[in-house]
């Protein structure tokens, strides 16, 4: 008799789980409106074109997930650090033709003065430093021209 109750309870639990899973699905007629947004802001587009012009023998990638370039070795604290860095994106990654990384580049606007952005930037910088990836930060107001870009990145190790 007791086993029957356990079996019934398990069936009821399974039914509840399935119902909740189905309830979590969004029906097409309930989806919000989406639109295609530009991948880069206007200042980022300007810098991208300057990078491509200044570094013709390099590969320039935009909006790269930090987790793609800096992998975490498993440890007791790795999950905490992974949670801090998972949503972070690098504005640009400059690579040699073999896709080895020359540098990560961040273009900072006025929003980088906000406390939350400062913390995110500190986490990003620490992660890149730990992975031995040079990070270059330029501001929108002081964006370098192609000559300054070429000089700085061609002298990078």
31 band by pLDDT with thresholds 50, 70 and 90: confident
Domain ranges of the chain: 42-154
- For 114-157, the three-class secondary structure string (H helix, E strand, C coil) is CHHHHHHHHHHHHHHHHCCCCEEEEECCCCCCHHHHHHHHHCCC
Q: What percent of the chain clears pLDDT 70, i.e. is strictly above it?
A: 77
pTM higher than 0.75, yes or no? Answer: no
- What pLDDT score was predicted for residue 2? 47
Q: 55 and 47 in contact (C-beta within 8 Å)? A: no
pLDDT of residue 13: 58
Mean pLDDT taken over the chain: 82
**Nearest alpha-carbon partner for 145 in 46, 58, 42:** 46
Confidence at residue 21, expressed as pLDDT on a 0 to 100 scale: 53
Integer CA distances (angstroms), 84 to 73, 74, 131, in order = 15, 15, 16
Which residue, among 156, 117, 154, has the nearest Cα to 139 in the 3D structure? Answer: 117
More reliable by pLDDT, 155 or 37: 37
Nearest to 50 by CA among 22, 92, 110, 21: 92
pLDDT of residue 106: 96
């Amino acid at each position: 008799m007791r086993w029957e109750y356990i079996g019934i309870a398990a069936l009821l639990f399974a039914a509840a789980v399935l119902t909740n899973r189905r309830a979590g699905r969004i029906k097409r007629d309930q989806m919000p409106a989406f639109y295609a947004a530009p991948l880069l802001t206007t200042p980022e587009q300007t810098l991208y074109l300057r990078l491509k012009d200044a570094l013709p023998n390099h590969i320039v990638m935009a909006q790269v997930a930090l987790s793609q370039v800096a992998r975490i070795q498993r440890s007791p604290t790795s999950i905490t650090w992974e949670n801090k860095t998972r949503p972070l994106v690098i504005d640009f990654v400059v690579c040699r033709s073999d896709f080895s990384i020359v540098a990560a580049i961040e273009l900072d606007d006025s929003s980088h003065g906000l406390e939350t952005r400062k913390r995110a930037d500190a986490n990003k910088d620490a992660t890149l430093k730990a992975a031995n990836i040079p990070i270059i930060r330029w501001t929108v107001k002081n964006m370098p021209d192609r000559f300054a870009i070429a000089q700085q990145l061609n002298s990078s190790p």
